[in-house]
Chain A
């Protein structure tokens, strides 16, 4: 038994050791450009701008909260093989830093899409964890403002051109085409939402600030008093009172938060509530960035019907 165990261990150790030198045979980087994004929104925009010159993978599945994501072991390998890594930034994907550090990829270019975004909810003064899961650089859910989507696409185009200069013109042309489609879609969305300008709604988490800015809606309060923390019964009562006082028309949440609290508040106040995914792939109707926003606008307009000013 001792002899067999001895041999087995050394054979195993030797084969494991052989794995390391084998790994030194580097695989040549292939066309198309391999891009890994954190969210499906970024993947969609990257695919739109990169076309058939890129191969894109998102780490966080659609319908999941990137803030709460637990990376999978295979995520390391995806980043290891990639040439370009794109994230939202502003502290949304704090888990990504370790992945990038541990991915053994010295050629990886990292980019984030937040530069140029006119940020909201930037905390002032000292920030610490007593504020909850606060994002010290500002609210990172900027993808819900289509104008921010335009900036994201432009930053992605720049990143692609930097990583793959030979196809810069191709990316620029795709970006321009996306710009046009987005502008046309925006005109439609603004027409649909125009009657509800100034309407008030409450969001469970502060994910909707940019959407409210884009469509001139008002968020008098969020259900969470501190981001990321389940509200107390007293807090829920206060929100109900405030919603009645402020003549709030709608409550909106995402499926990964406590939908039962959203239901309770909407029942007490007598308003509808929406349970919406806010990213590409969250549901079959949200298959790319434009259809993602389109779905949300349609749902909002439908829920606010009858509350036009």
Chain B
């Protein structure tokens, strides 16, 4: 029993001794960690102190430099030699921004690992200046290292309501519905140092997927020529190059649509564009297209006649007027095989933009179309024109008035007149809402008709911006 008591006493004594030992080991570990942290704090403080000293020195240098330059006596007689690459001269605080932490952006910038230098990834060609001394991009930019084309996406939604009734030849209930009128995916990229390529995959309402445009542009040619080959929108008049969803009205004016189609010319061919030198140094641009005429309403390639092309040419002159306004005048002409024989078109046009301020922009478009088509029952020259006055009265709001007059095609005589007030609101650069009313009347058997259109359009990317 005594042995048992002794053993218990020994065990208790041992336990009492061991506990402080364990506690002592824990204290030593904590103390070690503490010392380590203190050392880190000391080091960081030393670094901060060093940085502060550097800041002070640079600030003192800047002040001294400013004072020296502010004093006329201290102005050097000659310019200082250019600094070697990577060295910043006194007084030019390029690598030493002076953040004051005043703005949100400044605070964000403080979180970044280093100074932000912006998009300076353009390739610098041979003979370019030293790195870090400005981005200078020679005109031949080179093939991108990664093939990521620019991508655009378009959706165009419309609703038309009319007072047309069954029995009227223009009546089509399918027209008076919501329509996804157009959807496009557009891809664009340089494909080599001399060539750009663009392709638009289109899904028009009521049709399947289609290639709207697919072309190459060679714009590094001698004499500053630009050549385009493939399927594209040739320049013809003011708006043929513009996709229908981009136009300042919902539909292409009937003055044009009746003769060249609802969507304008979109045709395979080859295009050459150049500025015409002239003694007055005027902006005179010539544009010539040789096309297949893949358009049933104007030109139609004759089956089996390999070289029977249509030709489209445009000569346009533009100049600034007043301080911030512009004038464009020109004429397009086209000739080639039509559905029933030869077709000849002429299209004089004028555009005046009067821009007293960015909150008030007036634009006037006037375009006429003279058509002479053989074998389609036109019985001579047909004349049409449209005039659009548009007023951008606030940054995102536009009001316009369209007058659209055309001779009826395919009949000996008769003409129609349409008048359309248009209101457009740009929700953003990428989204546009539009209302348009049209009253159409004519000298033919059809009675006057009223139409009301609404349109919502988006266009992402800058390949086909909304206008």
Contacts and interface: CB of A to CB of B under 8 A. Distances in A.
Interface in B55-78: 65-66, 69-70, 75, 78
Interface in B127-167: 127-129, 132-140
Contacts of B135: 111-112, 114-115, 155
Nearest to A228: B428
Nearest to A2: B372
Contact of B66 (A72, A187, A219): A187
A272 interface: no
A58 to B, nearest CB: 11
B284 A19 contact: yes
A74 B320 contact: yes
Contacts of B138: 109
Q: Bin chain A's interface residue count.
A: 35 or more
Contact of B313 (A16, A154, A217): A16
Contact of A138 (B66, B116, B139): B116
Contact of B119 (A6, A23, A61, A89): A89
Nearest to B75: A180
A111 B125 CA distance: 12
A72 B118 contact: no
Interface in A2-29: 2, 5-6, 8-10, 12-13, 15-17, 19-20, 22-27
A237 B462 CA distance: 35
Interface stretch (B18-26, B103-111, B205-213, B448-456): B103-111
B358 A104 contact: no
A17 B361 CA distance: 35
Interface string A65-87: 10011101110110011000000
Contacts of B311: 13, 17
Contact of B108 (A20, A90, A122): A122
B102 A219 contact: yes
Contacts of B370: 5
B333 A13 contact: yes
B304 interface: no
A64 B358 contact: yes
Contact of A74 (B102, B112, B196, B283): B283
Interface residues of B, number: 104
A104 B273 contact: yes
Contacts of B231: none
Contact of A72 (B65, B220, B272, B353): B353
Q: Among A65, A111, A183, A229, which residue has the most Cβ atoms of chain B within 10 A? A: A183
Contacts of A297: none
B80 A133 contact: no
Contact of A5 (B103, B119, B372, B462): B372
Given A27-B277, A255-B357, A106 B326 contact: no
Interface of B: 65-66, 69-70, 75, 78-80, 82, 91-94, 97-100, 102-106, 108-109, 111-112, 115-120, 127-129, 132-140, 196, 219-226, 272-277, 281, 283-288, 311, 313-316, 318-320, 323-324, 326, 328, 331, 333-335, 342, 344-346, 351, 353, 357-359, 361, 370, 372, 374, 380-381, 395-396, 428-430, 460, 462
